[in-house]
Each structure stands twice: as structure tokens, then as C-alpha cells.
Structure 1
């Protein structure tokens, strides 16, 4: 339903990504310092990743296949931009929980590579491997890690300012 809506209104896809980023930022702010909650949010955010990438479809692919291409998204490329948004929440929450945005960026990119490899190597799930998916997921992970890094920097400057004013 959401996919069909976004396909019909592709100009709203960047708005949807901004909305995802905004919701993540608000939740990250609300639960800052509550590592268990942030890890739980990261785990919950992985559910759509697994559901949309590894749950078998009704059709199967009879061969090992991976489309090799690298395209940057445009405002109308719904699938590419959706892949950016897909990895933003789990990487953001994991980066906040671990306080290691670079490590979580690398983990998000690696997870996406593993997913694409599984899609190529297990044709029975009916998913198509595509290097563009990996690239867009990695861009989403990069945005998430950047957001978490900014939050961490802001928290550090706030705590050092608070300590100086005491």
C-alpha cells in the first residue's frame, strides 16, 4: 500500500526519507542514553529489512543472478530511495546505542552486502541481487551514521558546557 502510494506520487519519496530521518531523530533524542531502548529500536528496525529483503516471494529465480550497476538516485527513483530509507533507522539506533557510528556504518554496509549475496546465492527466495540496492542501503547507513555522529558531538559539547558552568 505504501509502495503503491509512493510509486504513484514519486515526488514524495524524498519527503518520506526526511520523515523517516525526523522520526529517528526524535526517538533518538527521547531515548538518548537509554542504550537498551536504543538497541531494541535497532532490532525492531531490522524487521522490515529482513521482511523486505529475505522473506521468500511467490516466484523463484532459476539461476544465480546479480545485476551489477551503480546509479545515483533521482527524485523519481522510488525503489532506490526506499533502499536509502530502509537502512537509516537500524544503523542510526545502533550507532546511538553503541556510540560507534563508524563501526555501525560499516556493519550496515556489510549487512546489506550479505543480504545481496544471499539473494544471489539462494534463488529459491525469489529475490534479485542488485548492486544498486547495496549502494543505496550503504548511503542510508552513511546518513544514519552521520546523524548519530552529530548527536554524539552535540551531547559531548552539551556535557562539557554543563560541566564548565557548574
Structure 2
């Protein structure tokens, strides 16, 4: 939960440094790719599980699926200054990951609609933190007399 406290402050610093934000976005995607697409040695009993239930944070896998998408969406939202678009892209990326897991059984991963729901929750949290970062940066600019536009809604 340190990310929720530090994220908006770091994000507001990155608002005027979009290149760094993009580099950090790419770096934050590495764990996501490794943890979702790296082949594992296990036998699949089902290729895809569809379940539409409210996620619970009782297991470490649910929390991990949420956290995987917070940082990349936060950073992409700051880099683009479009947090809603970044959150939608994060949810879309999760669909792609689940589709690859379903289509490529050789990696030993099975797709799960619950993972997509948890990833989307993480993307929404990341988008909200990006919006907060942009808001903090805009207020900071106004306070320092620089009226250059730094808007979360551009």
C-alpha cells in the first residue's frame, strides 16, 4: 500500500518528465509479462475458467493480480496525461494476457475471468492515482504562479 501513498507524489513529479514516465512504464511491465506469460511446468486441467463473482482479497493471487496493473497504469496515465484512457488500456491488456494464456497451452497458464476482473480493479486504482498525480501537479503549478496547463482532463 506504499504505492498508494508514494504513487501520487512520484507521479506528480513525473508529470513534467514524460520520457522518464514512459521508461518507468516499460520497466513496470516486465514483472507483469514475466508473471503472466512466463511458461510454467504444470499440467492444465482447464484452459479457461469463466466466473463472474466479486473478487475477494483473501488469497495472495487476487492481490497480486490487482497490484500487477497499478504501477503500469499510474505511470502510463501520467505519461499520457489521460488516466481514464490508461485504465481502459490496462483492462484491455489484461484481456490480451488472458487470451494468450488460453490460446497457448504450452506456457502452462490458464485464463481466468477472475484474473481479468482483479487486473481491471488494479488498472482503475492506477488510473485514479494518475488522476490524483495530475491534480497535485496542477495545483503545485498554480501555487507557484506558473499557469501553464497541466490538466488531468486534456
RMSD: 2.1
CA distance in 1, matches of 2:93, 2:30: 13
Gaps of 5+ in 1: 1-17
Which residue of 6, 19, 23 corresponds with 1:40? Answer: 23
Shift of 1:161: 3.9
Residue 40 of structure 2 is aligned to residue 57 of structure 1: yes
Size of the aligned set, in residue pairs, is 147
Gaps of 5+ in 2: 148-154
1:147 aligned partner: 129
Change (3 A) 1:164 1:125: closer
CA distance in 2, matches of 1:27, 1:159: 15
Shift of 1:26: 4.3
2:152 aligned partner: none
Change (3 A) 1:85 1:66: same
Change (3 A) 1:30 1:152: closer
1:19 aligned partner: 2
Counterpart secondary structure, 1:72: coil
CA distance in 1, matches of 2:113, 2:56: 17
CA distance in 2, matches of 1:164, 1:107: 31
Residue 68 of structure 2 is aligned to residue 83 of structure 1: no
Compare relative contact order (CA 8 Å, sep 6+) and give the higher one, 1 or 2. 2
CA distance in 2, matches of 1:110, 1:98: 17
CA distance in 2, matches of 1:149, 1:120: 33
1:119 aligned partner: 101
Give the TM-score of the pair, scaled to structure 1.
0.79
Q: Which has the higher helix share?
A: 1
**Is the CA contact 1:42–1:93 (under 8 Å) kept in the aligned structure 2?**
yes
